[in-house]
Amino acid sequence: MLALGDVICQTMIEKRQFDWMRLARFSAMGAVLGPVIQVIYTVMERKIGTKVTPINTVKKVSIAIRFIKNVAVDQLLCSPVLLATFMTCIGLMEGRSLAEVKEKLRASYLDILIANYKVWPLVQMVNFAFMPLNYRVLFLQGVAVGWNTFLSWKMHQEPLKKE
């Protein structure tokens, strides 16, 4: 889905000469991040619990608290780390120096993280509330096509100068 987002960005938003290496970098990141995200959700399922079986008011309150915990863990711990890792890996795969990658993080990380917080908490509430564990990554990847298009655009919106 990262690759699809990049294809949409390059062809429909940027309308530029297609960069196959850029697509390869996004594809490689997607191949790594998909399984990592599945592991994270499996661990959260075991450690925090997200079974949706509200039988009475007490269980409903308990489940609501679990959803909030899951979304909080995802958004406050996983998202910032995965976003920084993604941006760093893409920059390094593009041949950027560590200084250039740090500058890109300084210039764009906060904007992207804020955009993340505008999209993903609601998506994750739906995901944890209604999706069985085995469909969570698939559901997220459906939503992620649009998000990945934004990421591709944001990562290449302000090209860094080679030193």
Please report whether residue 162 resides in a domain.
Answer: no
Question: pLDDT by residue (tens digit) across 48-95?
Answer: 555 554 444 444 445 555 666 766 777 777 788 888 998 998 899 889
Please report whether residue 163 resides in a domain.
Answer: no
Q: What is the pLDDT of residue 60?
A: 43
| Whether the model pTM is above 0.75 | no
Please report whether residue 119 resides in a domain.
Answer: yes
Question: Which domain, by its residues, includes 52?
Answer: 2-157
As a whole number of angstroms, the distance between CA 25 and CA 20 comes to 9
Q: What is the pLDDT of residue 61?
A: 45
**Residue 72 C-alpha from the chain's centroid:** 15
Please give the tally of structural domains in the chain. Answer: 1
Which residue carries 């593009």 as its tokens?
A: 94
Enclosing H/E stretch for 21: helix 20-47
As a whole number of angstroms, the distance between CA 135 and CA 63 comes to 19
Low-confidence ranges of the chain (pLDDT < 70): 40-41, 43-68, 70-71, 158-163
Please report whether residue 68 resides in a domain.
Answer: yes
DSSP class per residue in 42-89 = HHHHHHT-------SHHHHHHHHHHHHHHHHIIIIIIHHHHHHHHHHH
Residue of 2, 21, 24 lying closest to 82 (CA atoms):
2
CA 4 vs CA 36, 42, 51, 101, 113: distances in Å: 19, 25, 32, 24, 21
Please report whether residue 81 resides in a domain.
Answer: yes
